[in-house]
Amino acid sequence: MGVARLTSNKEYKDFDNPGDRVLLVVMGRKAFSFGTYDVITKSNNVGGDLEYRRESEGEWQYLYFSYKRHTQQEGHAIAFTQFRDHTEGLQMDVLHSLLTNYLYFSVGHAGKYYVNFNGQITKVRINLGPGSFIENKADLLSKIKTKDTIPEIEQVSKNIEIISGIQDVRKLDEKHHLTKFEQEIREYGVLIVVQMVQESKRALQLMYRLTTNGEDTLGDAQKIGDRTLVMCHTEGLEFSTYSLGDKTVQLNNAYPVQIAKQNLEVWTFAYFAYSKESQQIVYYINSEENEQHALESALHAVSSNYWFYLAKDALLNSYDSRLAQVVLNLGSGAFRKDNFKGLMVYLQSPKLFNPNAKLQWDYEEDELVLDSQDAEKQGVTVRIAEPNQKIESIQEYSVGLWLRFLQAWPSRLWNIPSEMQIFRLTSNEELENGKIAIGDRVLSAYLVHDNFYFGAYDINEDAPNEISTISYSSLEGRWHYIYAGYKRSIQEAVYYVYDGEHIQKAKNEQLLQRPLNEWIKLILGGEKNVAGFHGLFSQISAHLGKEAYVENEEQLLKSIESSYALPLELTVGYIQKQKKGQVELEQYKSQELTQLQGIGEYAISGWFKIAEVQAKIEGEINSPCQVLFRITNNDEEHLSDRKQQGDRTLYAQVCTSDTVKVSTYSIAGLKDWNESQVFGGKSRNGKFLNELGHTST
């Protein structure tokens, strides 16, 4: 590049004739070239080089090139370069012709033979006559100090907030994706908080790109400035930049950072900055106090134009998760080598996501009646969300409740599903019918035959439904307290079932889940396309945050007794006592006894006397026995004799052999929910006893 030319020829060439190069300065890839001529040797091109330091790129350098004719046979041309504390000099022994009446001087240009200078030039002087020639370093430094002082570089310090708060980049306005800044700076950094999604299908996603190249010229690591500062999401993170090397330019120096699997789904603070003065880049990440940082050498070209692309730039895959508090720091203070936790974005983070937060949600009523046969009463959905509930980044949560399964109340179940949903805590908006996805079952509980079935997802194994089971021995009409909890710090889910006497426990270990986002849904009972629990819930609670996880049986029992004891009026004993009484039955009539709902203990009694055997009525079954009574919890539409549970709740016949036959049904020991099992016996003035289980009416 041409820096300056002084010539005594009107129609000058590069160095065809004496005087084409009275004094010439050209800047090459590594050095300033100084050129002149010598009449004694008849050389039109006498020259020498002074190498400049690579770090002088974008900085002020002082050049001084002068000539003095000492005698008719002797002269000297001396060139100096001055950068910071480094002074270099070059002497050429040449003799010039005396100047005549013509001189031409150009600056930033040295003729059509060189490209024009790219940069800034100031305090340009042409000195003629005594005092123009400087022959030593001391005189040079004196001149710089007293007359040609170094220009001051304007100090810039500016912070640009690209986005505030938590944002899903897929929903950002276009104005957030590109920011332009026009001012010369030598120090810059980007502060960002990111939540990296583990199952990203694309190998590399752009989080941001700071570049000195405009939209029309931008490439990806094709030229200087394409990757001024770039951060990408890979299997972890990748920081990349470029550097002006002594021999070559490295257009893409990449620094991959491995992120532990358990930290991929949490909010991670990342800082990436550059300093011209230090000739270094620094990166720092902090993910739940797991810190990584490094300093690397780098030299950037100084520019006065910067473009910042957030999440997409039409060159790399776009980042498709969430970001928070993206700030671009420009100028003084943007670069630091330590005290990263003092950066403002880091200090603000707890206001947005605090893993130590704590929230408790309780169902307001003492009981929740669930009717799986009624779409409007099959379930309840509760949405716990920001901004009122600060749950973002919480990593510990639980659900607990009392339940009482009732086949015959509030409506009669004629065909019991093989699986009934008790609750489902989910981070997904909708279920995909026939499929269980990651996040559908953050914590869940189901009722199956002979077992409570608990589920939770695990991103370690990409498993949407890791299960554990806890068996029960007696379910119908009996209250059970169930609890499911998860704690990310130990990667463990725990489940309890308490039947009022004994506590059973199960666990899923090595279970990794994401911290909560800005909302979570709790579904109690059934939902669309999902069969729900049938019966009663009480003391329903969800705990989010610290102390939600119950570690042992003693702690669970203490919590139940102190905060979640079953209300007295819902206990089976209280209900039995309140509905205790007698009903006078009318002979030969069917009666509906609605006041017995919820009762688990009942009896029928009375005197009978066998009359003469009646003549057979046409259409009756020929039987040696007569029906004394039938108590059933099946309506007329579904009533048969022995096919359905409840056909013979209490049933008695008197037979010609002077015996009484009694029978009933039992739901204990069934191989299937819907199996019908009838027990019977006969007695002559005696009694029999059998262990049975009935549905509560």
Q: Which residues pair with 631 in a beta bridge?
A: 650
Residue 393's closest CA among 270, 521, 516, 262? Answer: 516
CB count within 10 Å of CB 226 equals 21
Given the structure tokens 């190498």, which residue do they identify? 51
- Is residue 426 within 8 A of residue 456, CB to CB? The reply is no
d(CA 597, CA 633): 10
- Is residue 441 within 8 A of residue 465, CB to CB? The reply is yes
- Which letter does DSSP use for residue 436 in this model? -
The four Cα atoms 82, 87, 92, 98 give a dihedral, to 10 degrees, of: 40
- Is residue 456 within 8 A of residue 446, CB to CB? The reply is no
Q: Which residues pair with 296 in a beta bridge?
A: 281
Task: Break the chain into its structural domains and give their ranges.
Answer: 2-146, 157-352, 358-570, 579-697
Kindly report, residue by residue over 369-421, the tens digit of the pLDDT. 999 999 999 999 999 987 777 888 899 999 999 999 998 889 888 888 999 99
CB count within 10 Å of CB 377 equals 17
Q: What are phi and psi of 35, to 5 degrees?
A: -130, 150
d(CA 552, CA 487): 13
Q: Which residues pair with 91 in a beta bridge?
A: 78
- Is residue 450 within 8 A of residue 472, CB to CB? The reply is yes
Give CA separation, 574 vs 405, 579, 615, 695, in Å: 17, 9, 48, 18
pLDDT of residue 576: 76
pLDDT of residue 143: 94
- H/E element holding 255? strand 249-257
Residue 456's closest CA among 514, 498, 379? Answer: 514
Q: What are phi and psi of 175, to 5 degrees?
A: -60, -25
Q: DSSP labels for 492-550?
A: EEEEEEE-SS-EEEEEEES---PPP-SEEEEEEE-BTTB-B--EEEEEEEEEEETT-S-
pLDDT of residue 199: 56
Long-range contacts of residues 450-457, Cβ cutoff 8 Å, at least 24 apart: 452/422, 452/480, 452/482, 452/495, 452/497, 453/419, 454/484, 454/493, 454/495, 454/506, 454/508, 456/484, 456/486, 456/493, 456/508, 456/511, 456/513, 457/513
Long-range contacts of residues 85-88, Cβ cutoff 8 Å, at least 24 apart: 86/53, 87/137, 87/140, 87/141, 88/50, 88/51
- Is residue 80 within 8 A of residue 92, CB to CB? The reply is no
Strand arrangement of the beta sheet that strand 75-83 belongs to: 62-69, 75-83, 86-93
CATH architecture of 157-352: Sandwich (2.60)
- Is residue 196 within 8 A of residue 321, CB to CB? The reply is yes
Q: Are strands 659-665 and 678-683 parallel, antiparallel or unpaired?
A: antiparallel
Residue 48's closest CA among 93, 83, 15? Answer: 93
Spatial neighbors of 543 by CB under 8 A, at least 6 apart, are 359, 360, 361, 397, 398, 399, 400, 485
Helix-then-strand count for the chain, H and E: 4, 37
CB count within 10 Å of CB 13 equals 14
- Which letter does DSSP use for residue 104 in this model? E
Residue 231's closest CA among 161, 159, 291, 316? Answer: 316
Amino acid at 112: K
Residue 666's closest CA among 686, 650, 683? Answer: 650
d(CA 489, CA 361): 22
Domain 358-570 matching CATH 3.40.50.720: the answer reads no
Token pair for 122 = 């100031």
pLDDT of residue 697: 55
d(CA 479, CA 483): 13
Per DSSP, the three-state class of 557 is helix
Asked if the domains at 157-352 and 358-570 fall in one CATH topology, the answer is: yes
Collect the ranges in the chain with pLDDT lower than 70. 198-202, 581, 588, 594-598, 611-622, 673-676, 681-697
pTM above 0.75, yes or no: yes
Kindly report, residue by residue over 190-214, the tens digit of the pLDDT. 999 998 876 555 578 999 999 999 9
Amino acid at 671: K
Spatial neighbors of 314 by CB under 8 A, at least 6 apart, are none
pLDDT of residue 595: 61
Q: What would you report as the CA-atom Rg of the chain, rounded to the nearest whole angstrom?
A: 44
